[in-house]
Amino acid sequence: MTPRRAIGIDLGGTNIKGGIVDRDGRILHREEMQTGAERGPDPVIDDLAELVRRLGSAAPSPFKGEGRGEGQSGAGVVGVGLATPGPLDLRNGRIIHAANLPGWKDVPIRDALAKKTGLRVTLENDANAAAFGELSSGAGRGCQHMALLTLGTGVGAGVIVDGRLLHGHFDNAAELGHMILVVNGSPCPCGQRGCLERYASADAVVRRVRDEGPREPQVEIVSAADVARRAAEGDATCRRVWDEACLYLAVACVNIQHAYNSQRIILGGGLSLAGDFLLEPVRRHLHEQTWRLHDDVPEVLLAGLGSDAGLVGAGTLALANRE
Q: Is 62 exposed, middle or buried (0-12, 13-18, 19+ CB in 10 A)?
A: exposed
Residue 247 near its own copies by CB under 8 A? yes
Which 257-316 positions form the footprint of its own copies (CB under 8 A)? 258-263, 289-296, 298
Residue 15 near its own copies by CB under 8 A? no
What would the x/- binding string for its own copies be over residues 71 to 110, using CB under 8 A?
Answer: ----------------x--------x--------------
Query: Is the bond leading into 87 cis (omega within 30 degrees of zero)?
Result: yes
- Own/partner contacts of 32-39, CB < 8 Å, gap of 24 or more, are 35/11, 35/101, 37/13, 37/100, 37/101, 37/102, 37/104, 38/102, 38/103
Host H or E run for residue 301: strand 299-302
Residue 137 near its own copies by CB under 8 A? no
Q: Which among 101, 7, 114 is positioned nearest to 56, based on CA atoms? A: 7
Residue 182 near its own copies by CB under 8 A? yes
Which member of 26, 115, 193, 215 binds its own copies (CB under 8 A)? 193
In this complex, which beta carbon is closest to its own copies, that of residue 45 or of residue 200? 200
Find the part of the chain contacting its own copies (CB under 8 A) among 50-58, 126-134, 185-193, 314-322.
185-193
Residues 248 and 255 sit within 8 Å (Cβ to Cβ): no
Residue 240 near its own copies by CB under 8 A? no
Which DSSP string do the residues of 244-265 spell out, in sequence order? Answer: HHHHHHHHHHHHHHHHH--SEE
Residue 176 near its own copies by CB under 8 A? yes
Residues 52 and 119 sit within 8 Å (Cβ to Cβ): yes
Q: Whole-number minimum distance, CB 80 to its own copies, in Å? A: 25
Q: Whole-number minimum distance, CB 256 to its own copies, in Å? A: 8
Interface residues with its own copies (CB under 8 A) are 87, 96, 143-145, 159, 161, 166-176, 178-183, 188, 190-193, 247-248, 251, 254-255, 258-263, 289-296, 298
